[in-house]
Chain A
Amino acid sequence: NSKVIQTPRYLVKGQGQKAKMRCIPEKGHPVVFWYQQNKNNEFKFLINFQNQEVLQQIDMTEKRFSAECPSNSPCSLEIQSSEAGDSALYLCASSRRVSNERLFFGHGTKLSVL
């Protein structure tokens, strides 16, 4: 069973609404990733953190998403104004180190934007 916990499993929002999802990384893993898995099952990297600091993010994330990984609290990813194209499975993953390390994934949050 996955030790990366994502909530909620399912999220339904209307266009223009905020959509927030959370992730508790595996214990002892300081590096957290967010990926979007679209309806064609393709993975798109969104953002990653080491402890509370952002390492990398794509333009879309910077402009339309709000993400954080505060100490002693779950990480979160929030879409500020949902669009139909945001409907996807959002996967959180964690790892022990930044480079060349295996990722441990959660089950994901399936977002449907109506």
Chain B
Amino acid sequence: GDSVTQTEGLVTLTEGLPVMLNCTYQSTYSPFLFWYVQHLNEAPKLLLKSFTDNKRPEHQGFHATLHKSSSSFHLQKSSAQLSDSALYYCALASSSFSKLVFGQGTSLSVVP
């Protein structure tokens, strides 16, 4: 079945350093991939969605590239900000097309 793997449970970074959160997936189809962010006591919200034409989605300084050869959709940002501290979830639109399958989530903590 479809699955998403986020290998890092907790990432702690110093403000200003680059961010890279890992996401790999398994799917029998060519899926859409998403990154959602959940700040403390807030609703999860969409950060990025993959495109069908290999464009690289970007939002709020974050970007991710879908690599079908390695089944990856890693999240990157050149310089971490304190306000980036949150839970980040990679998700896949499942082959059944009726639900999103979420990874385990990565907690990003940005410190001064």
Which residues of A are interface residues toward B (Cβ below 8 A)?
Answer: 2, 4, 33, 35, 40-43, 45, 48, 55-56, 91, 98-108
Size of interface on B: residues with Cβ below 8 Å to A: 24
B46 touches A106 (CB 8 A): no
Least Cβ distance of A20 to chain B in Å? 20
B75: min CB distance to chain A, Å: 16
Q: How far is the CA of A37 from the CA of B111 in the complex (A)?
A: 26
Which residues on A sit within 8 Å (CB–CB) of B89? 43
Closest CB of chain A to B21's CB: distance in Å?
14
* B87 beta carbon closer than 8 Å to chain A: yes
| A103 and B98 contacting across the interface, CB-CB below 8 Å | no
A101 neighbours in B (Cβ, 8 Å): 93
Q: How many pairs, one residue from A and one from B, have CB atoms within 8 Å of each other in the complex?
A: 54
**Residues of B close to A56: CB separation below 8 A:** 96, 98-99
Which of B12-20, B64-72, B100-108 lies at the binding interface?
Answer: B100-108
Evaluate contact between B105 and A42: CB separation under 8 angstroms: yes
Evaluate contact between B107 and A41: CB separation under 8 angstroms.
yes
Contact with A along B23-66 (1 / 0, CB 8 A): 00000000110101000011111100100000000000000000
* Distance in angstroms between the alpha carbons of A103 and B99 in the assembled complex: 9
> In chain A, what residue has the closest Cβ to B89?
A43
A100-B96 Cα distance, complex, nearest whole Å: 10
